[in-house]
Structure formats: C-alpha cells, structure tokens
C-alpha cells in the first residue's frame, strides 16, 4: 500500500505534466475539482484558491488511488496489466466517465468534447504507468 501511495504521487505528477502537453479542457472550462470546491463552499474561488484546490485534490486523490492499487496488485498481480496503463484507464472510466458526470461535476461523456475524452484516456494511462513504475521500484526496496 505504501509503495502504491508513493507511486500514486508520482503518477499524479506525471498526469499533470501530460496535461500540459495534451490539455483536457479548453480555455474557460472549469476543472471538476474547482466545481466541487465551489459547490461545497457555495462561492466562487479566486485564482489562488483555484490553483491550491486543483493541486490538493489532484495529488491527494492520485496518492490514495495509488495506495488502493498498490494493495490490490499485491493480492492479484494481473491487476498490474500493461504496466499500470489498465489501472489508469479503468480509473478514468470510474471517475471521468461515470462518477463525475453523475455528481454533476462534468458533462456526460457523450457531451464532452472529443479532445477532453481522448486527453483523459491518455493522461490517465500515463498516470497508471508512472504509478506502477514507481510502485515496483519502491516495492523492490521494501
């Protein structure tokens, strides 16, 4: 679990870098973590709060998802398919294509721009591969 947590942090950083190369949203679209924070606080966030919210939710969620992945792959190694890419893609399906639209934080997948959907698939695969690579390295040292 600890190795997965470390991997998840690295995966979150890798996903963030991948999103600079292939951004999921066009200018003016509000990212889901900001939508959630504004719904919870019932107010608009300023730029500093938006950045802090994005970073915090992104890294906390990435680390926790990595920890769960790390624990699960210890019991069922086949869950590490494609060196973690399958995990990242599955996480995208659960979050961006199911949970977030149901919570009203994003549009349903059929209403999302093609660029957004492709970017989420690619950057989540990057997240999964980075998570698994770091998890494996940390696991070898434990």
Q: 113 CB contacts (<8 Å, ≥6 apart)?
A: 26
- What does the angle CA 49 – CA 54 – CA 60 come to, to the nearest 5 degrees? 120
Whole-number pLDDT of residue 121: 97
Whole-number pLDDT of residue 25: 80
**How many residues are given for the chain?**
142
Whole-number pLDDT of residue 29: 82
DSSP 111: G
Structure token digits, residue 45: 């966030």
Hey, CA dihedral for 85, 88, 94, 95, is it positive or negative?
A: negative
pLDDT digits (tens, 9 = 90+) for 10-21: 999 999 999 999
Averaged pLDDT, groups of 10, the chain, 142 residues long? 98 97 83 94 95 96 98 94 95 96 94 93 98 97 91
Query: Which has the closest alpha carbon to 118: 53, 9, 30, 21?
Result: 21
Listed by start position, the domains of the chain span: 2-141
Q: How many CA atoms lie within 13 A of 24 on its CB side?
A: 21
Whole-number pLDDT of residue 142: 87
For the whole model, what pTM was predicted? 0.94
Structure token digits, residue 37: 């924070």
């Amino acid at each position: 679990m600890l190795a997965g947590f470390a991997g998840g942090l690295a995966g979150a950083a890798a996903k963030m870098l991948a999103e600079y190369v292939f951004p999921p949203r066009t200018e003016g679209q509000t990212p889901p973590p900001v939508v959630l924070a504004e719904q919870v606080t019932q107010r608009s966030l300023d730029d500093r709060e938006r950045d802090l919210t994005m970073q915090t939710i992104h890294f906390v969620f990435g680390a926790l998802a990595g920890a769960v992945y790390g624990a699960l792959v210890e019991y069922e190694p086949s869950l590490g398919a494609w060196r973690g890419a399958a995990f990242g893609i599955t996480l995208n399906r659960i979050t961006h294509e199911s949970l977030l639209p149901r919570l009203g934080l994003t549009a349903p997948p059929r209403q999302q721009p093609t660029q957004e959907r492709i970017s989420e698939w690619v950057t989540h695969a990057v997240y999964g591969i980075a998570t698994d690579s770091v998890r494996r390295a940390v696991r070898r040292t434990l």
